[in-house]
Chain A
């Protein structure tokens, strides 16, 4: 699987080249265009129960798309639903990433996707929900964000504070705690930050430059109310 980001910026697409017989997983509905040699199948990754738990627990789609180059090599164009950047990560079998539920766009066949339960406080307050996707295995992983993607590199024991709804993905060698944004409870809410995640290295944290929840709240005021 060779991948290339087209039109980097707010409205990117990713072009994926597949050799004959190769297949990749993609978020349901991600395919924009593809060569006629590629077959699109829907697949319940992780079996029926796994798909069911992913659907109900993480809010991810029940089916993933499988794009299979069954009749010879070909390419496919994939795009996320929301405007925002795409990032390509290479997993080497050792590093693992936690990905928030809307962050997954596509992955090579060697990528293993699991739903993972977070601790109660993280589930309630991190803004990611109780379940996140854990990506492991070997191969290319394509993530998407809302807005631009920013990579934070953390040295061992280095700390960084991230607003909870701006998280996209983070490596499993990092750990984080939920904290109030300011020392007081009321100030935490009125500052508009509420809760933040204090990340501790080593590892990488990918954040998005826009907050989908806040954007939704902002855009709601412009939607005409139908009678």
Chain B
């Protein structure tokens, strides 16, 4: 027979006397253990008892009565004993049981609620930082002056051109100039001075640097079937610049702390850091959202400039069909049919405008690049 309860009272030690509680129809039988066998036993009728919940976690059943030894308090934790007590106890005690159980439930609920609230606050802070960081980045980007952006792009541009063969004049440069002219005329309050450079390379690619430098490779021009197709890529790239996507990526990569610093006003230290990052600009990849944004705004810009937007879609579709090793534009601009479909839907939503053709003959432009134009499949 091992103890299942502790009894407190004047005649017991402060730590409580271990005892064994038995429940029967007459009431509680409490048997105290003594070292060396046989102990005291006390029988308490149900009528003399009062019950409540107690203990550190409110998980003890506290039974009180006044016996021959004065006031006695019993702390029961043993589940079997509590169950037996509950089942055998008369109805007038069951109300007290219900109250005690209710108290325990309340304490547990309150504890769960407090922990839940604390956890919720923690999670919402994390989520807030996670999703709010995009907003922070945008605010930070909007605080960086255009001149800095131009300086940054400029140094990256010089680094890049040092190893490239630039085509300075000819029909290709003139054709791109005309495209740029027609597109930029349609940009209201344009803070950027766009400069398009044609680089001799078979790589099918084009990219834009923050501040307005756009680089088009001859490979891309050879691949395109019409001037409208190249203009589509140009429009897409110009919108990366206008939307300051490059800057967004840089600021994001600098980390949250820097972002907060920029938002709070200290932009000085940032210039030096950004200079170091200018090399990384060349390998910069835009996010999917940024690509979509540049696609859609690019399409709208083409529409305003009265350049046939279907050229852009056609070119994208053709790139997605073929996988010809050297199409770098694909690695930074992952093509998917979904992307082309989206653009088609956007185009359908735009008001129809009759396109005005370019003044140059695209076949001649391609011929001047010194290679056979690629025949469309």
Contact among A94, A98, A121, A173 with B114 in the assembled complex (CB-CB below 8 Å): A121
Within 8 Å of chain B (Cβ to Cβ): is A119?
A: yes
Q: Among residues 53 to 70 in chain A, which have CB atoms less than 8 Å away from a CB atom of chain B?
A: none
A120 and B15 within 8 A (CB): no
Chain B's closest residue to A202 (CB) is B8
Q: Mark B1-25, 1 if CB is under 8 A from A, else 0.
A: 0111110111000111010000000
A156 and B14 within 8 A (CB): no
Within 8 Å of chain A (Cβ to Cβ): is B160?
A: no
Contact among B56, B64, B77 with A174 in the assembled complex (CB-CB below 8 Å): B56
Q: Among residues 160 to 204 in chain A, which have CB atoms less than 8 Å away from a CB atom of chain B?
A: 170-176, 201-204
Q: Mark B59-95, 1 if CB is under 8 A from A, else 0.
A: 0100010000001010101000000000000000000
Within 8 Å of chain A (Cβ to Cβ): is B318?
A: no
A203 and B16 within 8 A (CB): yes
Q: How far is the CA of A119 from the CA of B10 in the complex (A)?
A: 32
Least CB distance from B4 to A in Å reads 7
B15 and A95 within 8 A (CB): yes
Q: How far is the CA of A77 from the CA of B203 in the complex (A)?
A: 78
Within 8 Å of chain B (Cβ to Cβ): is A5?
A: no
Within 8 Å of chain B (Cβ to Cβ): is A36?
A: no
Chain B's closest residue to A176 (CB) is B56
Q: How far is the CA of A155 from the CA of B3 in the complex (A)?
A: 20
Q: Mark B85-116, 1 if CB is under 8 A from A, else 0.
A: 00000000000000000000000000100110
A175 and B5 within 8 A (CB): no
B14 and A119 within 8 A (CB): no
Q: Among residues 137 to 177 in chain A, which have CB atoms less than 8 Å away from a CB atom of chain B?
A: 153-156, 170-176
Within 8 Å of chain B (Cβ to Cβ): is A92?
A: yes
Contact among B6, B9, B111 with A95 in the assembled complex (CB-CB below 8 Å): B6
Q: Mark A200-216, 1 if CB is under 8 A from B, else 0.
A: 01111000000000000
B14 and A203 within 8 A (CB): yes
Chain A's closest residue to B3 (CB) is A94
Q: Among residues 37 to 76 in chain B, which have CB atoms less than 8 Å away from a CB atom of chain A?
A: 54-58, 60, 64, 71, 73, 75
Chain A's closest residue to B64 (CB) is A156
With most chain B CB atoms within 10 A of its CB, the pick from A93, A120, A176 is A120
With most chain B CB atoms within 10 A of its CB, the pick from A96, A155, A176 is A155
Count the A residues whose beta carbon is within 8 Å of the partner chain — how many? 24
Known contacts A120-B118, A203-B15: A175-B6 contact under CB 8 Å: no
Q: Return chain A residues, CB-CB under 8 Å to B18.
A: 92-95
Contact among A93, A155, A156, A175 with B56 in the assembled complex (CB-CB below 8 Å): A175
B14 and A202 within 8 A (CB): yes
Q: How far is the CA of A191 from the CA of B144 in the complex (A)?
A: 50
Q: Return chain B residues, CB-CB under 8 Å to A98.
A: 56
Contact among B2, B8, B58, B111 with A175 in the assembled complex (CB-CB below 8 Å): B58
A173 and B58 within 8 A (CB): no
Q: Return chain A residues, CB-CB under 8 Å to B4.
A: 94
Known contacts A202-B16, A203-B14: A93-B2 contact under CB 8 Å: yes
Q: Return chain B residues, CB-CB under 8 Å to A95.
A: 6, 15-16, 18
Least CB distance from A157 to B in Å reads 8
Q: How far is the CA of A156 from the CA of B50 in the complex (A)?
A: 14
Q: Return chain A residues, CB-CB under 8 Å to B8.
A: 155-156, 173, 201-203
Q: Mark B228-245, 1 if CB is under 8 A from A, else 0.
A: 000000000000000000
Q: Return chain A residues, CB-CB under 8 Å to B6.
A: 94-95, 173
With most chain B CB atoms within 10 A of its CB, the pick from A153, A203, A204 is A203
Chain A's closest residue to B59 (CB) is A172
Residues on B close to A: CB < 8 A?
A: 2-6, 8-10, 14-16, 18, 54-58, 60, 64, 71, 73, 75, 77, 111, 114-115, 118
Q: Which 8 A-B pairs have the closest CB atoms?
A: A153-B14, A202-B8, A156-B73, A94-B3, A120-B114, A173-B75, A94-B18, A172-B56
Q: A92-B3, A119-B111, A155-B8 are in contact. List 13 more A-B contacts (CB 8 A).
A: A92-B18, A94-B5, A119-B114, A120-B111, A153-B15, A155-B14, A156-B64, A173-B8, A173-B16, A174-B56, A202-B8, A203-B15, A203-B16
Residues on A close to B: CB < 8 A?
A: 92-96, 98, 119-121, 153-156, 170-176, 201-204
Pairs across A and B, CB under 8 Å, 27 listed: A92-B18, A93-B18, A94-B4, A94-B5, A94-B16, A120-B111, A153-B15, A155-B10, A156-B9, A156-B71, A156-B73, A170-B56, A172-B55, A172-B56, A172-B57, A173-B16, A173-B55, A173-B60, A174-B55, A175-B54, A175-B55, A201-B8, A201-B14, A202-B73, A202-B75, A203-B15, A204-B14
